[in-house]
Amino acid sequence: MNSPQDVLRYINGYPNNLVQQVAELIEKDRFKPWFDKRYSERHQIKSEKALFEYTIAIKNRYMKKTAPISKVLWDSKIHLINNALGLHTYVSRVHGGKLKSKNEIRIASTFKDAPEPLLRMLVVHELAHIKEKEHDKAFYQLCCHMEPDYHQLEFDARLFMIYKELNHGQ
């Protein structure tokens, strides 16, 4: 098992008092029970078809007029340590004399067994990139429009990564 300092890398950059609270929970073996109580249920979206339908439902509710999405995938190759929990890609291809583009969303496969609010936050984040490319004020306003608890859920998604790492091997 990794040391508490190793797993805390997921929340580097957050205020010291928050990091310290998490470290204390880990040191006292209270982190896993606390997280299980906070998020007692996991989503049931396991297939890529179900993930696509889930994503399109959110898109249709908040972003009907944006470009269509061609694919939504679970991706086991996303490197979580580089703070990527999901990816939005924009693929342009020439077909005949026309330029065609496709939006694709990839969600880290480690979130296949995550609590649903954390999956929703990731999907919202990647959908927001269709309209706002940069992580700027407009981007986060759009995220919060689609998911009012966005910032808390973003932090909790990082806590989920700690949870997964602490549970690894059990």
Residue 78 · residue 86 · CB < 8 Å: yes
Residues 61-80: tens digit of each pLDDT? 999 998 889 899 998 887 65
Asked if pLDDT for residue 150 goes beyond 80, the answer is yes
What predicted TM-score, i.e. pTM, was given to this entire model? Answer: 0.86
Output the pLDDT for position 157.
Answer: 94
Between 133 and 118, where is the model more confident?
Answer: 118
**Percent of the chain as helix, strand, coil, to the nearest 5:** 55, 15, 30
Q: How many other C-beta atoms lie within 10 A of the C-beta of residue 17?
A: 7
Q: For residue 129, what is the enclosing H or E element? A: helix 116-131
15 band by pLDDT with thresholds 50, 70 and 90: very high
What's the residue count for the chain? 170
CA torsion 127→131→137→140, rounded to 10°?
Answer: -10
CA separation for the pair 121, 116 (Å, rounded)? 9
Q: Do 116 and 142 form a contact (C-beta atoms < 8 A)? A: no
The per-residue pLDDT for 81 is: 47
